[in-house]
Amino acid sequence: MDFLGGNILSLDFGLKLSLVGIGVFLLVGICFSIISANNPKDDENLNLIQSLWLFFYSCFLKPHEANSKGNQQDALESFYKAQAGAYDATRKGLLRGREDMLALAAAQLTLKSKRTNTNTTKKIWVDIGGGTGWNIEAMHQFVNVPTFFDSVYLVDFSPSLCEVARKRFARLGWTNVKIPDYYSVVDSLALLLASNGILGVVDFYVQSRVDVSFRNYTGGLIDRHVNFIGRTFWRAWFDIDRVALEPGRRDYLEYRFGTVINVNTRNYVLGAIPYYIWLGARKQPRSSSLSHEIVEKVNALVTESPYLCPTNHTGTLCRAVRKDIPEIRSKAFDAAIVNLSSNLPLPSFFYQNHHYRIYYDDQLKKHTQFNNEYIYAFTWEDTRVDERILRLKPNDVVLAITSAGDNILSYALQGPARIHAVDLNPTQNHLLELKVAAYQSLEYEDFWKIFGEGKHPDFRSLLITKMSPHLSSRAFQYWLSNHRIFTKTRGGLYDTGGSKHGIRIFRWITQVFGCRAAVKDLLAAKTLNEQREVWRNRVRPALLSHLVSKFVVSQESFLWTALGVPKNQLAILEADHAVSDAVCGLNPTAKNTRSHAIWQYMVNTLDPMVESTHIAADNPYYLVCLDGKFSRQCHPDYLSPKAHARLSRPDALDNLRIHTDEIDEVLARIGPGTLTVAVVMDSMDWFDPGSNTAESQITKLNRALKMGGRVMLRSAGLKPWYLKEFARLGFVTKCMGSREGGACIDRVNMYASCWICTKRENLAPPTPEIDPMGNVEISSLEI
């Protein structure tokens, strides 16, 4: 929530609060009359109105009483004693997030129990501030509490609430639940937590994002900021009941433990009260003994974005720091050294159950520029053609742009040794993470609904109870905040992202020109000939009209927002159009306008595609644009039952690394001669021909690739200008497909050409630079 918007909401709430206060006053009188008449003796059998009365009376009217000690426990007991029997009935609406926290913790524990020897490892749950025992009983919907946990300990400051808990578990007959002394448990909590244990917290808070924006270990800052009015109001409100919302308590929690999952949200039922859900783990391992096998794995991966987890990082980092010879390190490795040297927890990525996602600083402008929105909800590269051209083998190490992740998963099905997925936009990688987590946790039918149909009514529940242990904290935060993408009645996943603007404009065009029915007939065509007839006579005249081209498609704002076409790529296709006109003897001043160039490019894209491929039967890329979803007959490779069976195996995607960074940054931190394939899509079209950007990236590609390694690229140009740079810097280029002459090069046909650039020569190593202090720097490694 931005500052201005937050102020408006808080002011609105303040006005409403006055009206609510009047209503509460009247309600108190009514409730008081009822409570006096009934005068119940059993606090556990209060009706709803009586419970509400006790809640309002205890919170707003009843004076605090305490014994001579006058400590916090006395104050809390005074507050809770009168309303102990009504606590559960009123707190479900006030203390939101408890069930979500329990579900998240249960999901983590269930996964960890599968990875450990359950015969020798006891599962013990300590419920701090457990009150009436509601949490423990609520956990039963996620795991069988009497059998899953060997022991459950409930501790709370209030003897009255603990008495309610004793009655609850006596009624349930759960003998593994005990209620010990509060202080003896809390004082030893950090030592009690097992090395693979989970600490779960749900609590109210107020905090400014500025206070924590410099910390890399918090697990993400989505919705963490509470504006000034909100902070002031809620502090004062809770202080009435001697509940302090100062941020220090949460800060210490995040400092004392490692963050596994972090969620910041609001209870909108009661005026948008800020609360957070947090899951943590031990900050550092209990023992310094390390597994030799794991340490060797970490050392081997140092030059390919190493996996460091809290159980094995200490010895490896110490040995690395002692080395005198500079070595290439990932940014994750650098961040780990900085945090450990300051006795801080590692970034939350290190406490995840999987090592897919590599650490990145989400506060950098290069990441925030995307405003938490992905451009592509599905990938526009034909994976069938990629597979035919690349023919990946088990020893291949692949680097590819993430996009929506469809192509990455297609490469994974071919079983290479390693896949580095790279994207500067964090949310594109969040989408890939979601797909990977779904493979690891969902049955095929649920997987299909989410990514095949783009909708699932139970997405939020599946995210929390199934997928959460397989996601990084930032990816989980993102999808929890955007869960309505999959649950709203209209739209769905494939009506989101920047590319949705192009799809929506197409729908608008077909509506204005009265050809919506024609689009449906196009998708219903049984044969290619039927499809061609509908296209030529009913759809094409509207979509490829010069009017649409001039006033919609040729606009730079549309090209970038809807299609992701930057100005340098636009210049490439305009240049090709000018050459084509010149060859045909046309007057360039009359015909070589942007709108005509764009129109011709669309004609060269769509006409051959419609004439050559049957959309409903075998072209998922255009099917999803036209219908908003895939079909069981027509979908990308990764959505097939066979793909799900293969990639849902526990170790199927252990070879995946997800980098949130520029390609150049990732290449600079990968060891020389380790890559065999790099897939850069059309990214080089974005480079300015007048700069040395292409030369720099091609040089890094040459360094990172093995001899004979290949770069696969697509371009809006028939022969893009940077191919000469590849030839000059040790590569041999070969065209694998061209639209010249009206050909259709693949089922997307969005690009004018496809190329393979094969490394045939090593470039000379970079010259070390010596700074004035005499320190040697190797700039190309960007260490």
pLDDT of residue 210: 85
**pLDDT at site 92:** 63
Q: How many angstroms from the chain centroid is the CA of residue 738? A: 36
Assigned token pair, 472: 């990084």
Determine the 3-state secondary structure of 20 from DSSP: helix
Question: pLDDT-based confidence at 782, cuts 50/70/90?
Answer: very low
CATH T-level fold of 94-282: Rossmann fold (3.40.50)
Distance CA 30, CA 333 (A): 64
Q: What is the mean pLDDT of residues 124-138?
A: 88
Tokens of 96: 């939101």
pLDDT at res. 33: 46
* pLDDT value of residue 75: 57
Please indicate whether residue 550 or residue 445 has the higher confidence score (pLDDT): 445
Is pLDDT of 730 > 90?
yes
Using alpha carbons, select from 752, 754, 750, 438 the residue that is nearest to residue 619.
Answer: 750
C-alpha torsion sign, points 171, 127, 138, 35? positive
d(C-alpha 34, C-alpha 15), whole Å: 29
Mean pLDDT calculated for residue range 562-580: 76
Lowest mean pLDDT among 38-52, 530-544, 740-754: 38-52
What helix, strand, coil percent values describe the chain, rounded to 5? Answer: 50, 10, 35
DSSP 538-564: IIHHHHT-HHHIIIIIT-HHHHHHHH-
Higher pLDDT: 429 or 45? It is 429
**Is pLDDT above 50 for 776?**
no
pLDDT of 190 higher than 90: no
Q: In this predicted model, what pLDDT tens digit does every residue of 164-175 receive, in sequence order? A: 889 999 999 999
Amino acid at 688: D
For the cut 50, the answer to whether the pLDDT of residue 379 exceeds it is yes
Tokens in use for 206? 């107020």
Is 139 a residue whose pLDDT tops 80? yes
Cβ atoms within 10 Å, residue 209? 17
Tens digit of each residue's pLDDT (9 = 90 or more) over 339-375: 877 888 888 988 889 888 988 999 999 999 999 999 8
Structure tokens at 724: 């000469």
Chain segment 481-492, per-residue pLDDT in tens: 999 999 988 889
Q: What is the pLDDT of residue 666?
A: 92
- Name the residue with higher pLDDT: 9 or 92: 92
Pick the closest to residue 219 from 10, 468, 528 (CA basis): 468
| 413 Cβ contact list (under 8 Å, min separation 6) | 637, 638, 643, 646, 647
80-89, 415-424, 626-635, 761-770: which has the minimum mean pLDDT? 80-89
Q: Find tokens 């290449």 and name the residue.
A: 667
Token duo for residue 77: 């007991």
- The three-state secondary structure class of 690 is coil
193 falls in which pLDDT band (50, 70, 90)? confident
Say if residue 73's pLDDT is above 70: no
pLDDT the model gives residue 8: 28
| The residue to which tokens 């099917």 are assigned | 623
CB 310 within 8 A of CB 283: yes
Stretch 607-611: mean pLDDT: 96
pTM: 0.84
More confident residue, 610 or 569: 610
Asked if the model's pLDDT at residue 280 lies above 60, the reply is: yes
Averaged pLDDT for residues 94-113 = 88
Summarised one tens digit per residue, pLDDT across range 420-452 is 999 999 999 999 999 999 999 999 999 999 999
Average pLDDT, the chain: 80
Q: Which pLDDT band, with edges at 50, 70 and 90, does 462 fall under?
A: very high
For residue 330, give the nearest of 351, 349, 312 by alpha carbon: 349
Q: Please report the pLDDT score of residue 86 as a whole number.
A: 54
Sign of CA dihedral 767, 772, 776, 778: negative
The DSSP code sequence of 700-732 is: HHHHHEEEEEEEEEEESSSS-TTHHHHHHTTEE
Q: What gap in Å lies between CA 408 and CA 581, rounded to an integer? A: 38
pLDDT in tens, 667-718: 988 888 999 999 999 999 999 999 999 999 999 999 999 999 999 999 999 9
The predicted pLDDT at position 704 comes to: 94
The pLDDT confidence band at residue 555, using thresholds 50, 70 and 90, is: low
